Amino acid sequence: MLADGTIFYGKAVGNQDGTAFGEVCFNTGMTGYQEIFTDPSYFGQLMVTTNAHIGNYGTREDEVESEGIKIAGLICKNFSYEFSRPNASSLQHFLGKNGLFAISDVDTRALVAYIRDNGAMNAVISTRVHELEALKKELQEVPAMEGLELASSVSTKDPYLVGDPSATYKIAALDIGIKKNILRNLARRDAYIKVFPYNATYEEMSAWEPDGYFISNGPGDPQPLKEAIEMAKKVIAAEKPLFGICLGHQVIALANGVSTFKMHHGHRGINHPVINLLTGKGEITSQNHGFAVNREETEAHPGLEITHLHLNDQTLAGFRMKKKPVFSVQYHPEASPGPHDANYLFDQFFELIRVHSKKNVPV
């Protein structure tokens, strides 16, 4: 049931009773359902998968982006109880182990079309089909995503280290919903990473004496993240290399006085076309966001330059600071499970670090 009272019917996966609330959104990816379900950026959302078959290749322990499932619930068309890979386990087992309620046999084409026409909204999935009025009242109590701070719900509680302590570079990463494959991409470029909680200060992070700073992806509205915005302001003022992805991109924009806004239904999938304005090359990208940075304000900002645009709707997909070693993108260059067109952005980050730190290390 959607917040406006519209009802779609399906059946519970595994014939389990359950109820789940959240903002309903859809992802158009043909693969990568396990990565989607464990992506912290989806915290608090009911996920509609547009691919007709979900679960058909099973799950594996090394294909998660965080500890446990982060979506609030799953809505799909055909749920596969059997799977193709002999070295995997069933998606049903994975969902059960993580306590996730899922429904299948939903007309997902009609549901996605409805969301595209009417926008993202809160919804409930439930087996309590004879308690619709009670569910409506409960649904009205679910907070809207706009203005909602969720980074604290998915961030690490304590700092931790990733990579080789003898690596050439040290990166301080602010975890506002970080994905494991981002850390892998940083580590494989000869970096030792210290991951800090969402509310870490610049003073705490700089005490580790990093060569560069990173702000991760994550869920919710960026505007309530006052500590992260203040931290980004101080990194910028200190003229340290800084890279942001998705929610981190929005935080860096806010640190520059550029506003963000809630999108009609957002971008979620692994086939989003982006144009790199600096090279003229197109990129097929992985995207997952319901908020975006104001393009007009960015264009008018004297210290910023737009570097990437989304080709479907011309929304801002990336910018850099003209006189500071700072840049960010709205999409996911780590792109687990793919595509990998934008992986070069990690190399670009380390080139900024090499120039700034004057470490004469071959690429």
- Active-site amino acid positions: 246, 332, 334
| 10, 47, 78, 185, 227 from 128: Cα distances, Å | 12, 19, 21, 44, 41
| 215, 236, 288 from 179: Cα distances, Å | 11, 24, 12
| Residues listed for the chain | 363
Alpha-carbon distance 183 to 40, whole Å?
A: 14
CA dihedral 287, 293, 294, 295 (to 10 degrees): -60
CA dihedral 274, 279, 281, 282 (to 10 degrees): 0
Strand, coil or helix: 133: helix
Alpha-carbon distance 154 to 95, whole Å?
A: 19
